[in-house]
């Protein structure tokens, strides 16, 4: 059995500018970091000759009979599409699981795609670079499955770390941020992550945002311009060690993002965010497309207990995390080492 894993991510600024409707016209940028919460893909030979896929998160099982073409309609469309992309239609057993519930704004769908591609490529003894893994994940999710998403999550999961990721019509560039000594640890100590208890399907939100962007609606376009400017400034502040400015930029970006599409926020989310600010947080945002998931906050250590207590009274629970710098990897191998390719660089 072979096990691949890919990290989830938190996005600080720039979300939405990674959609083709925006970056192909204006160029986009996202500042994000991967964290030590992972999705896992187990792949092994299936003695029956058929292909089986099991998802622990969705509690769904799919059985594909040997000799039939692999399609990707219906349940477990993503792993089926990845298997089809690699021409695997028999003899494999896949198991997919995540440490965090899906639909909670941490990029889990694209992390699953990245882990699947890494696992299947290794299963086929096909070495791939991190960029190739990310590119194939984008191809499968955006082109093959028609998901109305951008490219930040695939590249974040494949590369890992704290990065500025830029998007243009010519391609994607991943640049690791270089922070002054001690600033990275200080940043991590001032970030808090709370699960709102709300999972959501981001498809409707992103579809509306993509449509408004493609149509050039002024409110959406201007909002995304401001969000990109915040990402550029966020990178500058992080590399200068000005962390308090990052907290203010999170707040600015969130207030701009709420204008992009219906469903990004609601009265419950607004109550949670304003409660956090009232108790000492400097800024924050709902992760991912919005509508639920995790509330990310920048908060000085002296106020964190007060913020946590206030949010816990409203039903939220804090999730501890640390930054991850490994990206997608083969986490465990139970085959003979000489039978496997070297991990992609």
Specify the CATH number for the domain of residue 55: 3.30.230.10
pLDDT value for 89: 87
Q: Do both 130 and 197 map to the same domain? A: no
Assigned domain for 71 exists: yes
Q: Do both 141 and 213 map to the same domain? A: no
Q: Name the residue among 298, 301, 317, 297 with its Cα closest to residue 309.
A: 317
Give the structural domain span for 33. Answer: 2-178
Q: Do both 130 and 208 map to the same domain? A: no
Q: How far apart are CA 9 and CA 324, in angstroms?
A: 9
pLDDT value for 200: 62
Residue-wise DSSP of 178-245: -PPTTHHHHHHHTEEEEE-S----THHHHHHHHHHHHTT-HHHHHHHHHHHHHHHHHHHHHHHT-HHH
Q: Do both 152 and 254 map to the same domain? A: no
The residue among 123, 153, 178 that closes a domain is 178
Q: Do both 138 and 199 map to the same domain? A: no
pLDDT value for 332: 57
Q: Do both 116 and 203 map to the same domain? A: no
pLDDT value for 254: 93
Assigned domain for 26 exists: yes
- What pTM value is reported for the model? 0.91
Q: Name the residue among 52, 44, 47, 43 with its Cα closest to residue 4.
A: 43
Task: Let me know: does 124 contact 86? Beta carbons within 8 Å.
Answer: yes
> What is the number of alpha carbons within 13 Å of residue 112 lying toward its C-beta?
29
Q: Do both 164 and 188 map to the same domain? A: no
163 beta partners: 32, 176
pLDDT value for 47: 81
Assigned domain for 300 exists: yes
> What is the number of alpha carbons within 13 Å of residue 114 lying toward its C-beta?
34
pLDDT tens for the 345 residues of the chain, in order: 899 999 999 999 999 999 999 999 999 999 999 999 999 999 999 888 899 999 998 889 999 888 788 888 888 999 999 999 999 988 999 999 999 988 888 999 999 999 999 999 999 999 999 999 999 999 999 999 999 999 999 999 999 999 999 999 999 999 999 999 999 999 999 999 999 987 666 566 667 766 767 777 778 889 999 999 999 999 999 999 999 999 999 999 999 988 877 778 889 999 999 999 999 999 999 997 667 789 999 999 999 999 999 999 999 999 999 999 999 999 756 555 444 444 443
* Beta-strand runs (E) in 49-147: 51-55, 60-64, 92-98
Q: Do both 151 and 192 map to the same domain? A: no
Assigned domain for 330 exists: no
Q: How far apart are CA 172 and CA 128, in angstroms?
A: 17
Q: How far apart are CA 122 and CA 65, in angstroms?
A: 23
Q: Do both 314 and 240 map to the same domain? A: yes
Assigned domain for 329 exists: no
Q: Do both 8 and 129 map to the same domain? A: yes
CATH code for the domain of 245 = 3.30.70.890
Q: Do both 12 and 130 map to the same domain? A: yes
Residues near 211 by beta carbon (within 8 Å), at least 6 away in sequence: none
How many domains does one find in the chain? 2
Task: Let me know: does 35 contact 104? Beta carbons within 8 Å.
Answer: no
The residue among 178, 201, 220 that closes a domain is 178
Assigned domain for 119 exists: yes
Q: Do both 310 and 188 map to the same domain? A: yes
The residue among 161, 178, 195 that closes a domain is 178
Task: Let me know: does 204 contact 263? Beta carbons within 8 Å.
Answer: yes
Assigned domain for 338 exists: no
Assigned domain for 36 exists: yes
pLDDT value for 339: 45
């Amino acid at each position: 059995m072979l096990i691949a894993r890919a990290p989830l991510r938190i996005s600080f600024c720039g979300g939405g500018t990674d959609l083709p409707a925006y970056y192909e016209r204006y160029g986009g940028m996202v500042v994000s970091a991967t964290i030590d919460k992972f999705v896992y893909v187990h792949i092994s030979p299936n003695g029956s000759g058929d292909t089986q896929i099991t998802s622990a998160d969705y509690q769904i099982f799919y059985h594909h009979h040997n000799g039939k073409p692999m399609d990707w309609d219906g349940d477990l469309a993503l792993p089926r599409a990845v298997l089809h992309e690699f021409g695997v239609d028999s003899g494999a057993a896949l198991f997919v699981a995540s440490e965090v519930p899906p639909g909670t704004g941490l990029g889990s769908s694209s992390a699953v795609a990245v882990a699947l591609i890494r696992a299947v490529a290794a299963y086929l003894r096909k070495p791939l670079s991190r960029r190739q893994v990310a590119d194939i994940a984008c191809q499968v999710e955006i082109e093959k499955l028609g998901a109305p998403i951008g490219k930040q999550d695939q590249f974040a999961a494949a590369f890992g770390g704290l990065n500025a990721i830029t998007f243009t019509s010519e391609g994607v560039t991943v640049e690791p941020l270089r922070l002054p000594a001690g600033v990275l640890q200080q940043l991590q100590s001032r970030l808090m992550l709370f699960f709102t208890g709300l999972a959501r399907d981001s498809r409707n939100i992103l579809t509306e945002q993509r449509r408004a962007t493609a149509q050039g609606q002024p409110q959406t376009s201007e909002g995304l311009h401001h969000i990109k400017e915040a990402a550029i400034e966020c990178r500058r502040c992080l590399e200068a060690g000005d962390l308090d400015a990052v907290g203010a930029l999170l707040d600015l970006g969130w207030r701009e993002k709420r204008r992009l599409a219906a469903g990004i926020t609601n009265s419950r989310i607004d109550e949670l965010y304003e409660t956090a600010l009232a108790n000492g947080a400097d800024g924050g945002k709902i992760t991912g497309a919005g509508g639920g998931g995790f509330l990310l906050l920048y908060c000085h250590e002296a106020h964190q207990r007060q913020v946590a207590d206030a949010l816990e009274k409203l039903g939220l629970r804090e999730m501890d995390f640390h930054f991850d710098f490994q990206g997608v990897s083969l986490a465990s191998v139970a085959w003979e080492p000489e039978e496997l390719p070297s991990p992609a660089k």
